[in-house]
Amino acid sequence: MIIETAGKILESNNLCDHCLGRLFAKLGRGTNGERGKAIRFVLNMERSAKGLPPFEKPETCELCGNVFDRIPELVEELENVSSGIEFETFLVGSRFPPEVREKEETLWREFGIETAEPINREFNRELGKAFGRVVGKETSRDPDVVFIVESYSGKIELQINPLYIYGRYRKLVRGIPQTPLPDFEDSVASIVCRPFSKASGGKCVFKGAGREDVDVRMLGNGRPFIVEIKRPRRRNLDLNAIAEEINASGRVEVLNLHLVSAKEAEEVLTGNHRKEYLALVRVDDGVTPEEAREVAERLRGIEIHQRTPWRVRKARADRIRIKKVHEAEARWLDGRHFELRLVTDGGLYIKELVSGDRGRTSPSVSELLGKPAWCERLDVLNILDD
């Protein structure tokens, strides 16, 4: 049946071995070029026995225009385009003119072909194999780089996939925003990103799993973050050396840097973590040790109804969030101050939990005390992973 069908096709179509073999791609093993050559050979043996002329391989294939003969020169172009780019894995894609795909599909319908594969799939595979042999790299479904080849013009687009690095940062001093802000020379993001950009040759984007205010330190085990490096020219980064350079700033420290996948990065950034805080509470009307202790006892295990704080109302949706205080401990310091250690759901604004924010947070420390209270100083002690 294969030989009979192939004979009918070649009677009206001048096809190269690739395009002939691709019509039967789902049958047997080997490349389409090998398959087409074998089919032509057997078909011509039968025709010779019948005294018929052979189906010679055409000088120019009517379907593909001998595009597969261009693979060696395209391999050289792929090398040129990727010169100076570090990568271990790659993928090749291609674009073919619509008329080529339409002619191919017309051929399938005309001869009832159900065993074929599209021309671009074979072209991608064969070009990828040839390029991989030359550069000693492997193809992958999750590649470092992607080449998109215009099959006939030879134009090549190079897509360099980003790197994702997970870490945790500790902000050791107050007065530094997490991301760049006007009137601030530096930020956690700029301190972290400078060495990454220098080492990779790419553009660094910093993404924190939540944020703390400018005047709040981030201590303890540090806040999770992701560094996304777009179009890196170098992928083999010395993460220990980068960490040392960041930590030498004396203002920000990073811990546990390691590469992650895009999916893992997304999970880090979308997770909702409990947080441990230490707040210095000021009560101008005075506070006793008993009052401080009672506030902590009443906060422990309570649900807080918190409307979007007044100070961030322009940047956040105005709605009521319900968050829980899981742990609360108080340490009285003097007649106007006590420390409050809290473990809460992520997303609870602690300064407003203390002040009440004009009644937008309830209950609050001010409400429980029956007199105004303010958060004079705040530290994030730990981010508690699930």
- The answer on whether 164 is annotated among ligand-binding residues is no
- Rounded to a whole number of angstroms, the CA Rg of the chain reads 33
Give the tens place of pLDDT for each residue, 293-351: 999 999 999 999 999 999 988 778 899 999 999 999 999 999 999 999 999 999 999 99
Q: Name the nearest CA neighbour of 348 among 360, 336, 331, 339.
A: 360
Residue 184 sits in the same domain as residue 329? no
Q: At a CB cut-off of 8 Å and minimum separation 6, what does 184 contact? A: 175, 176, 177, 214
Per-residue pLDDT at 43: 96
Residue 155 sits in the same domain as residue 168? no
238 catalytically annotated: no
Give the tens place of pLDDT for each residue, 53-97: 999 999 999 999 999 999 999 999 999 999 999 999 999 999 999
Residue 301 sits in the same domain as residue 190? no
Residue 115 sits in the same domain as residue 178? no
Domain final residue, candidates 128, 160, 192: 160
- Tell me how many degrees the CA angle 88-84-196 measures, rounded to the nearest 5: 80
Mean pLDDT value across residues 221-241: 97
Instruction: Give the total number of structural domains in the chain.
Output: 3
Give the tens place of pLDDT for each residue, 345-378: 999 999 999 999 999 999 999 999 999 999 999 9
Domain final residue, candidates 134, 160, 186: 160
Per-residue pLDDT at 386: 59
User: Taking 90 as the threshold, does the pLDDT of residue 272 lie above it?
Assistant: no
Give the tens place of pLDDT for each residue, 11-32: 999 999 999 999 999 998 899 9
Residues 252, 178: contact at Cβ < 8 Å?
A: no
User: Taking 70 as the threshold, does the pLDDT of residue 51 lie above it?
Assistant: yes
- The answer on whether 166 is annotated among ligand-binding residues is no
Domain final residue, candidates 160, 179, 202: 160
- Among 213, 238, 318, 385, the active-site one is 213
Residue 91 sits in the same domain as residue 138? yes
Residue 357, φ and ψ in degrees, nearest 5: 50, 55
Per-residue pLDDT at 316: 81
Identify the domain containing residue 3 by its residue range.
Answer: 1-160
CATH number, domain of 320, equals 3.30.70.3190
Residues 109, 9: contact at Cβ < 8 Å?
A: no
